[in-house]
Structures are given as C-alpha cells and as structure tokens.
Amino acid sequence: MSSQESTLPQLPPELQGTVQLSVLDQLYNWSRKRSLWPMFFGLACCALEMIASFDPRFDLARFGMEIMRASPRQSDLLIVSGTVTKRMAPQVVRLYNQMPQPKYVIAMGACAISGGPFKEGYNVVSGVDKLIPVDVYVPGCPPRPEGLFNAVFALHKRMDQERIADLHWYQKGEEQGIPVPELGPDLIDYRLTASNIPSDYQPARLKTVRPEQVVTQGEEG
Amino acid sequence: MADERQLSAVTSEALSAIEERFPGGAKPAEHVGLVVDPSQLVDVATFLRDDMDYVYLSCVTGLDYPEATNGFPARYEVAYNLFRTQGDSLTLHVHADRENPVVPSLVEVWPSANVQEREAWDMIGVRFEGHPDLRRILMWEGFEGHPLRKDWHEAYYEDDQKPFRSRFPAGDPSLAEEHAAFERNVQYPEDWVNDGFLEVPEGWKSRAEDAVYLPLEEIAAATETELRTDKVVLNIGPQHPSTHGVLRMVATLDGETIHGLQPVLGYLHRNHEKIGERNLWLGNMPFTDRLDYITSMYNNFGYAVAVEKLMDLEVPERAEYIRVIMGELTRLMNHLVSIGFLCNDLGIYFTAMLYALEEREFILDLYEMASGSRMMCNYFRFGGVAQDLPDGFAPMARELVFERFPRRVDEMETFLLDNEVFRARTTGIGILPADVAVAYGCTGPLLRGSGVPYDVRRAEPYSIYDEFDWDVVVCNNGDVFDRVLVRFGEMRESLRILRQALDRLPEGPIEAGKVRPTTKVPAGEAYGRVEHPKGELGFYLVSDGGANPYRYHIRTASFVNLGILGELCRGHKIADVVAILGSIDITLGEVDR
Amino acid sequence: MYGLGIAKSLGVTMRHFVVTYLDDLKWFLQGGFGNRYTPEALPERQSPRARGIFTIQYPKEQPPLPERFRVFPFHVVDPETGKSTCTACGMCARVCPPQCIWVRRGKDPDTGRPAKEPEAFFIDVSICMSCGLCVESCPFDAIKMDQDFEVAAYERYDSFLWGLDKLMKPQAHDIALHPSDYARDQGD
C-alpha cells in the first residue's frame, strides 16, 4: 500500500486532537460503509473489469457490495467506469441527481479521471468531475479489479472520518441538483453561462464544483 | 499516373464489363479499384450486384482530399468495398466536389449502406441523395461541423500529427484544460460567446432529442388506421441492465408488440478515427485494443493484417502460430461471454454469466502471461508479435484446451440447450432470412445462423488458417436459438484449431525484422479484414507515405449488424428485444468507435 | 417429459454448489483449518485444476502477477551513479500513443550542447494507457514497467502528474520484478 498513505484527507490543524468520533459516529460509518450498493453504470472497457470484480475470482460482494442495482434510486455508489462522452453527459448528471443521499462517486479508469487516451477527442468529456463531484480516483487503463478494491478501501477510509453533526444531507435547506447539460452546437453546461456567474468571479484553478456546498450553507463554492 | 498502375485481374474484368454496358462510367483509381461517374453510380452498382455477383457491400468510407493527388483534383470521396460470395473484392470510388458534395445513395442496391452512409454524412459531410433517412448517427443533430474533415479542429487541438512538439525537448507539462477557452473540450459559435462566457441565445431549444424520435413518429402516423389506437413511443436505455453498454433504443409499441425500433448510437463515440489519423502507425495498436474491449487480441490481429497488406510484410511461421492461438482463444472467450450475457439478459441473471466469466479468467491469465495485460494486450506488431511466449504458457494452455474447456463447453450445453424455458424464449424469435442477411451486410454468427456459410477465414484466407483442419458451422433456421447453436459449434471448432496449433507450434523468430515505432508505411490503400468473433472486422487504410495514416476507417461487425435490429424486432414483444440484441452480440466500443 | 431440461440445468448448478464443499473438505483433510489459505495453496487454487471456490482473498492474499504485468512506468536507478540511465533522447515521448510523457532536455552548462540527462521528466498517469511502448522503444533500458496497482487518490490535479522523484526506483526493484528479462539483457 505504498502510494496512498500521504494522501488521506487530514483534519484541519486546529481540530486535530480535539475531534473525537463518538461511538455513534463510528457505528453509523461502519454500517454505511459495509453496505454500499453500487449502481450498474458501466460505460466502456472499465465496465468489464468492474464486472470482473464481481465474478468468483475477486468477488466484491465480500465487502457488502452484493447488490448491483440498475436503478439509481436504490444505489449508494456510482462507479463511473469508462469514457464519458458528451452525448452521455446529460444522462450521467441526471442519474447522479436521481441518486438519494448519501451518495459517493468513484471515477474508475483513466477516461473517467481525465478523458484518458481519448482526451483529445471531440466527443469526450475530459473527466467526469467536470460534471459531478468525485470522491476517489483510480488510474489505470483499465485498473485491475484489485485496483478497484483499493479504491473502495480508500473510500471506506474517507467515510470513516465523517461525523454525523457535519453531514451535509442532514443540514437544513433543500438540495439543488446539478443542472443537466444539453446538446447544442457543442455540450452546453449551464454552470458556464454568464448569467450564473457572479460579476467578480475569478476562475479557480480547475476545482470541482460541489453543489451541496454552493447552496445549503450560503458559502461560496 | 493512375493509368500506368497494374490493375488486378478482378478489377480489370469488372472494368471491361462496365465499359461495355456503361461507356465512360468507370476508370482506374489512384491506388486500388475504379472511379465511377456519380451520375451512373446506381446503374453500375445494380449491374455489379445482379450480373457480376457482387452481392455483399462490406464497407463505405468517406474521405477528404483538400489537395489534388496524382491526377485527381481536390475532392470529397466515398469508397465502397464490394465482395463476391467467393471472396473476390472490388473497390469503387466516387468523387464529389468540394463546395457541394452530393453522391447518389446506394441504399436501394445494398441496404447495408444505410448506417454506413449516415456515418459518412456525419463525419465527412457528403450528402447522399436518395437516402431514406439521412440523419447524423454518431453525433447528435445540431452539432456543428463534420469532424473528420482535415480542417476541423476540436477545442483541445494541439498538432496535426503525433509526436506533439511540446513534449520533447521543451517538456513543460500542462493540462489540456489550461489551453482551452472554457477549461473544457468545448467550442461554440461566435455569437454564443460573450466576453469569455457562454451566452445561450434567447429561445434556443436543443434539437437532439426530437431528431431521435422523428422517424418513429412518422412510422406511428403512417400506420394509423380508421380506429385511432394509441401507439406508445418507448425509450430503452442508454443506462439499462439489459444493454451491452450504452446502447439506446427507441421503439413504437402497440400494446406490447413492436411496430418499429431504432437504435440510437453515439453514446460511446470516442473518436478512434480522428485520433487514429494523428497517431503513428504503431501507436494505433493500443487504441485498437479498445475497439471491442472483450476481444482485444483479435482487433490487433485485424489491424496487423491490414497494415501488413500495405507494407507487404511476411510474417514468420512461429508468429503466425502464436497469432492463431491467441485469436482462437479470443473467439472462445467471446462466445462464452456472449452466451453468458445473453443468459443474463434473459433472466438467468448471474449464474451462466459467472460460469462464463470464470473461464474467461483463465484466458485472461494466459494473456497476462504473454503480453502483460489482462485486457488491453497490445501484443501484435507489424510482421509478428511483440514478445515470445513465456515458458509457463504452453503447459497451462495445454491443460486448459485439452481438459478444462471442452468439459466446460459441454457443461454449458447441458445447462442451456435442453432447458424448456430457454428454448421457449429463443426458438422462433428474430428469424433472419438468408438473402436479407446478405443484403444488410450481416456477418459472423448472425449470418451463419441463417444458413449462409460465409467465413472470412475461408473466403479470403489470412494468416495460416488454411493449414488447419476445421469446419464452418452453419445452422438453418435463423432464429436466436440457432445463433446460440452456431456459437457453441464455433467454440468447439476453436478448440479443435487450438489443439492442432499447440501440438505443432514450431520454433523460430517471432518478428520479421525490427519494425521501428516511427516507421513510414509506403503510400497506398488497403482494406484488410479478418473474421472477428462477432463478424467481419475490416480496416480501410489510406497512406500517403508518412509515419501517420492519412485515413483510418474501421468497419466493425457490430455497427453493421445493428442495422438489422429494427427489422428483426418488428412484430415481436418488448421482452424479445433483449434476446434478439443478445444474439446479435454487440459491443458498444465497436459500434460507436 | 416436460421439465427434464430444467431439471438438468438445476443439476448443473447443484453440482457446482456441492463441489465447493467437497473441495473445502479435501483441503481440510490435508492440513486442518486454514490450510486453504496458505501462500503455497494459492497457485493450486488458481490453476486450471481448481474445483472449488475460486476467490483470491484480497487484501489478505495478493494476486499472483506474471513477470510481464504492466501498470505504469518507472525509471531504473543505476546503483553506481544514483541516477537513472535516461539520456533524454525523447524516444519514449515520441512513441507514447496518448502523448503523456514530457521530457525536458536542458543544455549542458559546460559545453552548451544538449545535456545527456533529463532536466525534468513527467508522466501524466491519468492519461497513461499502460501500453508499454515507451519501454519497448527506450534504447538505454532506462524506463521499465512497474506492477504497483494500488494507486487510488482523492484528488486529481496534483496526484497524477509524476515527476522524476516519484518515478525513480532502484535497480534491485527492476530485477525483482523482471528476473528473466534482466537475465536476457545481461546475456546480450
């Protein structure tokens, strides 16, 4: 487990040593992480490796991810496996919006992270995080099933650090979905339009947009 | 000059026959085949089909020549690859001028041109007059531009050809997003961009969805009877557990019976052809792995055969044996997976699929041992294979081929073929008559399940398939069950070839000399095709003598086979659609490229 | 008789089910509890002769990887000089199909001619296809394929652009991963 230990999310310095996860937090996190249900969302070649990670040799069901649901309403985890094309972009966003909270996204494979080898194509979205927020990225073309397991464990580690008091799906306010892009002369993402952006907007260096942060607390995204 | 070129026997026979009937209709083309006068194209084509037995149109390619070449002016061009039942091939070219490219459509003569002409319209912008439904097929209606034209650049465009200049020796890494206007791979017309931000014009509506449903509404309106009954237009996909990837279908239903069905493509269009024109010849090999991602070795095989035709390379014997071994393992794996996925769609859910995937794991182990990767093998090279087989390969392969796989194939047969439920769901469904199959350009088990014994390994032998003792498997009814039977038969034939190949594997070199990655391929044109497990995989390559292809077109079995889905589903129930789709056996990476 | 086909199919499934228990019993009789999961047993359980449960218990058991397995490239550090044997010829950057390698060849400060080692070397692994063409084309055996597939990360822009510091690994690592390739190169 070499490349990862330094990249775990760290608590901010002022909170380290003061925050403790209560038993209730730990129980809550444990029960959520041991019963993640992925959605059957295979787009391209990585889908074969994702299916292979459910076959008898690797068997992701050992970790509680037994049920692979086709319906987004019944699933917790969206494994984006394969190239996201512009034509598919509206459906990806629509499916993500339909998933109920808590929901997590793993971007599996080079194409889902950044467009991969097809990045220069005219029909390819260079990374699914241009459309939806992503929790874990797994590079590889395609990543081995064990690489996907590793991503799932990284997601578990991330889930282990959540506290019930901070969870954004328990806050007040209504969650807005991500606006669904449309197909025009090229892919139109309505978050890029002039009317949505405040006048003093400075483009942040390629940050992903988390709609929950933008809307519910009133803070800047 | 084109006239001094030696014409092949088949081409000169065709030329003299055409000259007799249609004087001035044809003349020799630049590299291969004949140039036909557009005004006489349909008559010449009908003559070739009816009187000269060119019943099979395999590949339609659009080409863009912005500059004059070798005696022909600057033009748009469409190339057709025709075949006889015995495998003789003829290439026809048609020229269209640059301002207003119009070519008569050949859908009436060969219905297999339907989807392929739509693709040529979409990518190159040649309009086909007389086509019943000329819409974009891989991109959406409303997209601006025809992407495969030489002067069309996308937002992340860097250089015309690889290697890009910024990588060496300057070597300053940057993300492609940092150079594009919106930090994304998008570009808009000028009146849509206001002060660096996107501004969608007032009242603009997206046309993409309406265009998808338009032909179905026409069908629904045309079949209205006196008594107005409601026809439902149903959308299936692109995310659905029963599709083999992101395939979308729209169907007009009358109750549960299907009146019309259209597949909607382009959800995985990853621009292999545009990227392929920029890559080096060898750099395209890993990209071919990703075409039909289940059978990466066979895609490599097809590309290697096509380029070796252009380069005129001889492959040493040991390399040929290794190629055949890898190829037939791929065929076995593909048929297992295809039957497993068909069962998954029918409702046997994961049982048969997991049995098939377990066997696939062994074959992936063999691939990993030889080439280094489970799926994206990148194993073939021009003139041989990349590396020799390691020591552990032959014992494991022998154990699998002689003992484990025959038992498993028998077990799958016992599991499925006598099962009354399986038979009830598959016999009599999706019957494809033989003449319709040939006219629509269907190949592979789809064609052989209808009684036509056409196999590229026999029609136009490549590699050393003619040195082995094997049979072509044919069934006569043309329904889903017969195609499953054909696949079981082909698995047994693959095992037969594998046993012979593993027994007779010779020693020797594995590569014909050292082909360097930046090698230049001599100018010319070639259409190399192989019998891919799903059908016929062909690569139409045009080279201008450089280190990168000039035109790189892939004719895939799944794309052309999908043209018949609507015909096959008419009159069946909605639940039969998944069975028919599973028996056609498509992979979206191949359909959309 | 109607239903015989269904009975046959169910028989196949039942046989698969029972065989897994019999296989477990066989392993138990040979060596007691846990005999199934010893490292010696893993190649046997994964071989074509395997009958029972076919699972590799990752992360407790690592999958058996063949020598040629490729994930991402790494630079081989020559133990004598402490640096990679790369001479910044740029062959790998030219050949890479998705163009994910950047090689900066500076100027030698003394002679003013192109330097014999790279000033900087970057690989963007979020684009890398793991094809291995860079390794095949390197004339100096400076770059080889690594086998570490455990590379998941939480963010995208800083984790996947690997510079020379992250890419350099000792030659012993290369010899451990690719013993027969190394033996063949030494023999040449």
Q: Which residue among B86, B102, B129 closes a domain?
A: B129
Residues A52 and A138 in one domain: yes
Confidence of residue A202 (pLDDT cuts 50, 70, 90): very low
Region A166-190 average pLDDT:
80
Residues A56 and A137 in one domain: yes
Q: What is residue A21's predicted lDDT score, i.e. its pLDDT?
A: 67
Q: Which of B232-241, B459-468, C124-133 has the lowest mean pLDDT?
A: B232-241
Q: Is C153 on the interface with A (CB under 8 A)?
A: yes
**Domain count of the fold of chain A:** 2
Q: What is the mean pLDDT of chain B?
A: 87
Residues A177 and A105 in one domain: no
List chain C pLDDT tens, one digit each, 188 residues: 788 888 988 999 999 899 988 888 888 888 888 778 888 888 888 888 888 788 888 888 888 889 899 999 999 998 888 888 888 888 899 999 999 998 888 887 788 788 788 888 889 888 999 998 999 888 888 899 999 888 888 888 878 888 888 888 888 888 888 888 888 877 76
Q: Which residue among A128, A145, A167 closes a domain?
A: A167
Q: Measured between beta carbons, which residues in chain C are less than 8 angstroms from residue A63?
A: none
Does A3 reside within a domain? no
Q: What is residue B300's predicted lDDT score, i.e. its pLDDT?
A: 92
- Residues B437-459: tens digit of each pLDDT: 999 999 999 999 999 999 999 88
Q: Is A6 on the interface with C (CB under 8 A)?
A: no
Q: What is residue B331's predicted lDDT score, i.e. its pLDDT?
A: 95
SS3 B145: coil
Place of tokens 């030889």: B370
Does A10 reside within a domain? no
Q: Measured between beta carbons, which residues in chain A are less than 8 angstroms from residue C63?
A: 144, 146
Out of 3.30.70.3270, 3.40.190.150, 3.30.450.20, 3.30.1340.10, select the CATH number for domain C73-187: 3.30.70.3270
Residues A97 and A190 in one domain: no
Name subunits touching C (3+ CB pairs < 8 A).
A, B
Structure tokens at B54: 């060119």
Q: Measured between beta carbons, which residues in chain A are less than 8 angstroms from residue C149?
A: 140, 143-144, 146-147, 150
Q: Are B287 and C97 in contact (CB under 8 A)?
A: yes
Does B188 reside within a domain? no
Evaluate the omega torsion of the peptide bond into residue B238 and state whether it is cis, within 30 degrees of 0: yes
Region A175-196 average pLDDT:
78
**Torsions phi, psi for B487 (to 5 deg):** -70, -40
Rounded to two decimals, what is the model's pTM?
Answer: 0.90
Q: Measured between beta carbons, which residues in chain A are less than 8 angstroms from residue C127?
A: 110, 114-117, 119
Residues B402 and B537 in one domain: yes
Q: What percent of chain B has pLDDT above 90?
A: 40
pLDDT(B352) > 60: yes
Chain-chain contact of C151 with A138 (C-beta, under 8 angstroms): yes
Q: Measured between beta carbons, which residues in chain C are less than 8 angstroms from residue B369?
A: 66, 68
Q: Fill in the amino acid letter for B75.
A: R
pLDDT(A178) > 50: yes
- A–B: how many Cβ contacts below 8 A? 168
Residue to mutate among B284, B399, B414, B419, with most C CBs inside 10 A, is: B419
Chain-chain contact of A137 with C59 (C-beta, under 8 angstroms): no
Does A9 reside within a domain? no
Of C68, C101, C120, the CB nearest to B372: C68
Q: Which residue among B88, B107, B129 closes a domain?
A: B129
Q: Which of A53-62, B102-111, B163-172 has the lowest mean pLDDT?
A: B163-172
Does A72 reside within a domain? yes
Q: Measured between beta carbons, which residues in chain A are less than 8 angstroms from residue B270?
A: 44, 83, 85, 118, 121, 123-124
Confidence of residue A13 (pLDDT cuts 50, 70, 90): low
Region A21-37 average pLDDT:
86
Q: What is residue A220's predicted lDDT score, i.e. its pLDDT?
A: 33
Chain-chain contact of A56 with C126 (C-beta, under 8 angstroms): no
The whole domain housing B312 covers 280-592
Residues A52 and A155 in one domain: yes
Nearest CA in chain A to B143: A185
Nearest CA in chain B to A192: B198
Q: What is the DSSP string of chain C?
A: -TTHHHHHHHHHHHHHHHHHHHHHHHHHHHH-TTGGGSTTHHHHHTSTT--S-----TTTSPPPPPTT--SSEEEEEPTTTSSB------HHHHH-TT--EEEE--B-TTT-SBPSS-SEEEEETTT-----HHHHH-TT--EEE-------BS-STTTSEE-HHHHEEEHHHHHHH-HHHHHHHHH-
Q: Is B179 on the interface with C (CB under 8 A)?
A: no
Q: What is residue B507's predicted lDDT score, i.e. its pLDDT?
A: 87
Q: What is residue A15's predicted lDDT score, i.e. its pLDDT?
A: 52
Give the A window 13-72 contacts with B, CB below 8 Å.
40-45, 47-49, 51-52, 55-57, 70
The whole domain housing A114 covers 21-167
- Residues B372-405: tens digit of each pLDDT: 899 999 999 998 898 889 888 999 999 999 999 9
Q: Is A205 on the interface with C (CB under 8 A)?
A: yes
Number of H helices, E strands in chain B: 20, 17
Q: Measured between beta carbons, which residues in chain B are less than 8 angstroms from residue A52?
A: 357, 360-361, 364
- Residues B3-52: tens digit of each pLDDT: 446 778 888 888 888 888 888 878 888 888 888 888 889 999 999 888 88
Q: Is C122 on the interface with A (CB under 8 A)?
A: no
Better pLDDT: B70 or A146: A146
Q: Is A116 on the interface with B (CB under 8 A)?
A: no
Q: Measured between beta carbons, which residues in chain A are less than 8 angstroms from residue B361?
A: 52, 55, 57
Nearest CA in chain A to B138: A87
Q: Based on the number of CB atoms within 10 Å of its own CB, is A215 exposed (0-12), middle (13-18) or buried (19 or more)?
A: middle
Structure tokens at C161: 């652009």
Does B24 reside within a domain? yes
Give the ipTM of the model, two decimals please: 0.91
Q: Which residue among B71, B95, B129 closes a domain?
A: B129
Of C118, C124, C130, the CB nearest to B173: C124
Q: What is residue B28's predicted lDDT score, i.e. its pLDDT?
A: 85
CATH number, domain containing residue B48: 3.30.460.80
Rounded CA-CA distance A164/A30 in Å is 12
- Residues A92-113: tens digit of each pLDDT: 999 999 998 888 999 999 999 9
Q: Are A186 and B156 in contact (CB under 8 A)?
A: no
Region B45-62 average pLDDT:
90
Evaluate the omega torsion of the peptide bond into residue A185 and state whether it is cis, within 30 degrees of 0: no
Q: Are B254 and B569 in contact (CB under 8 A)?
A: no
Residue A35 CB neighbours (<10 A)? 13
Chain-chain contact of B354 with A125 (C-beta, under 8 angstroms): no
Q: Is B370 on the interface with C (CB under 8 A)?
A: yes
Chain-chain contact of B186 with A187 (C-beta, under 8 angstroms): yes
Q: What is residue A14's predicted lDDT score, i.e. its pLDDT?
A: 54
pLDDT(B497) > 90: yes
pLDDT(B326) > 90: yes
Nearest CA in chain B to C96: B283
- Residues A109-155: tens digit of each pLDDT: 999 998 889 988 889 988 888 888 899 999 998 899 999 999 999 99
Residues A104 and A118 in one domain: yes
Q: What is residue A196's predicted lDDT score, i.e. its pLDDT?
A: 59
* B365 Cβ contact partners less than 8 Å away, ≥ 6 residues apart: B396, C46, C66
Q: What is the mean pLDDT of chain C?
A: 86
**Nearest Cα residue to B292 out of A91, A15, A52, A48:** A48
Of B287, B351, B400, the CB nearest to C13: B351
**Torsions phi, psi for A161 (to 5 deg):** -100, 10
Does A117 reside within a domain? yes
Q: Is B378 on the interface with C (CB under 8 A)?
A: yes
pLDDT(A219) > 60: no
Residues A159 and A194 in one domain: no
Q: What is the mean pLDDT of chain A?
A: 77
Residues A110 and A173 in one domain: no
Does B166 reside within a domain? no
Residues of chain C with CATH 3.30.70.3270: 73-187
Confidence of residue B217 (pLDDT cuts 50, 70, 90): low
Q: Are C182 and C89 in contact (CB under 8 A)?
A: no
Chain-chain contact of A116 with C129 (C-beta, under 8 angstroms): yes
CATH number, domain containing residue A64: 3.40.50.12280
Confidence of residue A64 (pLDDT cuts 50, 70, 90): confident
Place of tokens 């997991």: B354
pLDDT(B489) > 90: yes
**Domain count of the fold of chain B:** 3
Region B478-492 average pLDDT:
93
Rounded CA-CA distance B258/B360 in Å is 35
Better pLDDT: B339 or B210: B339
Q: What is residue B503's predicted lDDT score, i.e. its pLDDT?
A: 92
Chain-chain contact of C94 with B390 (C-beta, under 8 angstroms): no
Does B271 reside within a domain? no
Place of tokens 């297992």: B336
Q: Measured between beta carbons, which residues in chain A are less than 8 angstroms from residue B185?
A: 115, 119, 121-122, 124-126
Residues B494 and B360 in one domain: yes
Chain-chain contact of C130 with A141 (C-beta, under 8 angstroms): yes
Q: What is residue B323's predicted lDDT score, i.e. its pLDDT?
A: 93
Does A7 reside within a domain? no
Q: What is residue B517's predicted lDDT score, i.e. its pLDDT?
A: 76
Does B365 reside within a domain? yes
Q: What is residue B299's predicted lDDT score, i.e. its pLDDT?
A: 93
Strands B26-28 and B34-36: antiparallel
CATH number, domain containing residue B405: 1.10.645.10
Structure tokens at B328: 């037939």
Q: Which of B5-19, B309-323, B558-572, C68-82 has the lowest mean pLDDT?
A: B5-19
Does B134 reside within a domain? no
B142 sits in the region (left: phi over 0; alpha: psi -120 to 50; else beta) called left
Q: Is A203 on the interface with B (CB under 8 A)?
A: yes
Of C5, C93, C132, the CB nearest to B163: C93
Edge-first strand listing for the sheet containing B535-543: B524-532, B535-543, B551-555
Q: Measured between beta carbons, which residues in chain B are less than 8 angstroms from residue C13?
A: 351, 415
SS3 A154: helix
Q: Are B229 and B254 in contact (CB under 8 A)?
A: yes
Better pLDDT: A193 or A22: A22
Residues B564 and B537 in one domain: yes
Q: What percent of chain A has pLDDT above 90?
A: 21
Q: Which of A69-73, A94-98, B503-507, B543-547 has the lowest mean pLDDT?
A: A69-73
Structure tokens at B463: 């590699």
Nearest CA in chain B to A48: B294
Place of tokens 């510079």: C163
Q: Are B230 and B264 in contact (CB under 8 A)?
A: no
Q: Measured between beta carbons, which residues in chain B are less than 8 angstroms from residue C102?
A: 166-168, 171-173
- Residues C115-143: tens digit of each pLDDT: 788 888 889 888 999 998 999 888 888 89
Does B193 reside within a domain? no
Give the B window 246-285 contacts with C, CB below 8 Å.
279-280, 282-285
Confidence of residue B232 (pLDDT cuts 50, 70, 90): confident
- Crossing angle of helices A145-159/A23-33, nearest 10°? 160
Q: Is A103 on the interface with B (CB under 8 A)?
A: no
Structure tokens at B68: 């004059």
